[in-house]
Amino acid sequence: MVSLIILVALTIAGIALVRSVDTTNIIAGNLAFQQSAVYAGEAGSEGPEGAIRAFLEATTPAARQNDDFTRAYSAATPAAGNPASWDAYWSATINPNPVTLPVAAKICVDRACTLPTDAAGNTVSYTIQRLCQTVGDPIQSPVGCASDEQQAALAGGSLGSGSAQINQAPRYYYRITSRVAGPRNTLSYVQTIVAR
């Protein structure tokens, strides 16, 4: 009788151990999918077809003064462009008509560009927003742009009396938001701030 009770206790302990190991493996797998999605999000900013190379490096400062939604670019980010829920904002404003996944080639729809699905099954979409309150040339009229202009007075040249000060052109800030949809319903948002 005692040996049967011990056998039942050992069986219950074995089942609990198997379930614990199985749960641990599922959690580790989910963390790996999430980390893979974050790494894939960097492709939206810095990849060969990402926002920096495809738009910010390929355009002039004058071309960045106005919206270009066909290339996922907004020249203004008003207060409404800083939402509490990025998923709701993305679905309602940035990309209300998403492309069908998976994607074989880069496609730009609404205010987002979607890159080809990678080997891990992640599909990256990105949008670029200039951190200004309104569109237009920030030098000609005040459009409320975030820039490093405040630091330009301290950069270059000598601060000594009578010496020439070297003026630098201000660099304006751009926010790149990448949305990554991956396996097991993984969803990640990665944001990058770039100065140009």
Mean pLDDT, range 4-11, rounded to an integer = 92
The domain spans of the chain are 2-195
Report the pLDDT value the prediction gives residue 152, as an integer from 0 to 100.
47
> What six digits make up the tokens of 98?
């998403």
pTM of the model: 0.80
Instruction: Decide if pLDDT at 40 tops 50.
Output: yes
- Per-residue pLDDT of 153-191, as tens digits, reads 555 555 566 666 666 778 899 999 999 998 888 889 999
Q: What is the pLDDT of residue 165?
A: 61
Q: What SS3 string covers 145-161? A: CCECHHHHCCCCCCCCC
State pLDDT tens for residues 176-185: 999 999 888 8
Query: What is the distance between the alpha carbons of residues 20 and 171, in angstroms, rounded to a whole number?
Result: 53
Six token digits for residue 167: 């003026």
Q: Is 109 exposed, middle or buried (0-12, 13-18, 19+ CB in 10 A)?
A: middle
- Helix boundaries (H) for 47-111: 51, 86-89
120-149 confidence digits (pLDDT tens): 999 999 999 999 999 998 888 778 888 876
- In sequence order, the β-bridge partners of residue 120 are none
pLDDT of residue 19: 87
Q: What is the pLDDT of residue 7?
A: 93
